[in-house]
Amino acid sequence: MYGNAGPPTYFVECTFGGSGFNGGNRGPGGNSGNGTGDTGSGTSTSGGGSYGDTGPGTGPNTGDAESDTLDKLEKRNREIRERALKEKIEEDSFLLLDVPCDEIPKWQPLAQHEVSTELVNKIDGLFQNDNDWAINSLENAGGAIVNMDYFAVNITKMPPLSSGSPLLHSPKSLLRLIRSQLNNLSDEASFDPYCFSGQSMCDQETALWNSFFPLGAILSLDLAIDDGSVMVTKFDSNSWYFTTLEDPKYGDHPVAGTRQFGFEQQADGSYDFFVRGVDRIDSRGLEIIASGFGVRDPFRDADATWINFQENLQNYLNDLVEGSASIVVPTTWRPDWDDVQEVLNGNKPISYLDGCD
């Protein structure tokens, strides 16, 4: 049975009273109606009609001006929400749970991962044909919170190479099998070679992803909430890394960062097959809106994806060897990026963090 998801993580739930505005109707002859805006307590109030309605008469067309005004109001409300969340965090440091000192090193390699020049050049080459290609870096994301998660399945006995075979998988060959079955192991996401920029690129990425060495393969991800694309930016027989991209089909990936798929041997000789990620919401605005409208954890949908992957992987492995696989209790840490950035990136020692002397 699936266990509880590790230590609790706390997030700000802010309810913001916005500034409501009504613009008044345009009366006969094009004169402005009751144009001063009333201030509401969260939603706009209408006074004498919907915003910018034009009544009978010969008044000028104010559609463009009204659109500009709405854009300014939206920007202003977003700034109010951002400032309110920041103030709440500053008032109560427990709203964002600090990560234990000894946990930080587990995610440092991912946070410090740099995409090779060769792969940067591949994206730059695609950019020459379509300027919507880019690598989404952890550093340049807008989110105030950094996600550090780990979802694993422990396996005590390797499955046979084929049904009835006396030969068993090695951890490395089992990881290759898991990669080939990735779409079958998730009900919340699909991982497909990128096929939205012509058949030639589709064929290239398909062959690369299905090869024994898929470094540089670009995949499109169909996710539960928002879709995106990734690239294999590191690969060896023990693990591979997905790094998030901006692409012409989906735009920015909903998060920016890197996720590792791999295995680790435990002290008792068993193996954990895992996914480990470090990322931030790509847009600060999306993170603020999620918090402001009662979504306590902006990463909860991502967590659901990897919990589902855990459960399906456990079932898949137990179908191969009954009773061999069990779920490892997930780990999720969501500290403030500003608090841990210098340490995660290796610019400061762990002792730099409060309480990590």
Listing DSSP states for 199-251 in one string gives HHHHHHHHHHHTSS--TT-EEEEE-SS--EEEEEEEEETTEEEEEEEEETTTE
Same domain for 277 and 176: yes
Q: Is the pLDDT of residue 311 over 90?
A: yes
Domain closes at, from 72, 95, 118 = 95
Domain closes at, from 35, 68, 95 = 95
Q: If pLDDT is split at 50, 70 and 90, which confidence band does 355 have?
A: confident
Please indicate, yes or no, if residue 268 is contained in any of the structural domains: yes
Same domain for 312 and 193: yes
- Amino acid identity of residue 202, one-letter, is C
Say what the pTM is. Answer: 0.71
Same domain for 304 and 280: yes
Q: Is the pLDDT of residue 185 over 90?
A: yes
Same domain for 112 and 1: no
Q: Where are the beta strands (DSSP E) in 37-184?
A: 134-135, 146-155
- In DSSP terms, which residues pair with 329 in a beta bridge? none
Asked if 273 and 263 count as a contact pair (C-beta separation under 8 A), the reply is: yes
Mean pLDDT of the chain: 78
If one counts the domains in the chain, the total is: 2
Across 313-321, average pLDDT: 96
Q: What is the pLDDT of residue 295?
A: 47
Same domain for 193 and 148: yes
Please indicate, yes or no, if residue 121 is contained in any of the structural domains: yes
Q: What is the pLDDT of residue 17?
A: 37
Q: Which residues contact 156 (CB under 8 A, 6 or more apart)?
A: 270, 324, 325
pLDDT digits (tens, 9 = 90+) for 186-195: 898 899 999 9
How large a percentage of the chain has pLDDT more than 70? Answer: 68
Same domain for 27 and 91: yes
Q: What is the pLDDT of residue 140?
A: 86
Same domain for 88 and 148: no
For β-strands 239-247 and 134-135, DSSP reports them as antiparallel
Domain coverage including residue 242: 101-352
Please indicate, yes or no, if residue 258 is contained in any of the structural domains: yes
Domain closes at, from 77, 95, 113 = 95
Q: If pLDDT is split at 50, 70 and 90, which confidence band does 89 have?
A: very low
Across 78-96, average pLDDT: 48
333 alpha carbon, distance to own chain's centre? 14
Same domain for 63 and 165: no
Same domain for 154 and 81: no
Measure the CA angle with vertex 190, ends 309 and 121; round to 5°.
110
Whole-number Å distance between alpha carbons of 357 and 353: 8
Same domain for 245 and 158: yes
Please tell me which of 82-86, 166-170, 285-289, 290-294 the model is most confident about, judged by mean pLDDT: 166-170
Reduced to 3 states, what is the DSSP secondary structure of residue 135?
Answer: strand
Whole-number Å distance between alpha carbons of 336 and 334: 7
> What's phi and psi for 323, nearest 5 deg?
80, 10
Please indicate, yes or no, if residue 198 is contained in any of the structural domains: yes
Same domain for 163 and 232: yes
Please indicate, yes or no, if residue 74 is contained in any of the structural domains: yes
Please indicate, yes or no, if residue 90 is contained in any of the structural domains: yes
Distance in Å from the first CA to the final CA of the chain: 38
For β-strands 271-281 and 255-265, DSSP reports them as antiparallel
Q: Is the pLDDT of residue 71 over 50?
A: yes
Q: Which residues contact 316 (CB under 8 A, 6 or more apart)?
A: 181, 184, 185
Please indicate, yes or no, if residue 333 is contained in any of the structural domains: yes
Same domain for 318 and 196: yes
Please indicate, yes or no, if residue 357 is contained in any of the structural domains: no
Q: If pLDDT is split at 50, 70 and 90, which confidence band does 6 have?
A: very low
**CATH value at residue 168:** 3.30.530.20
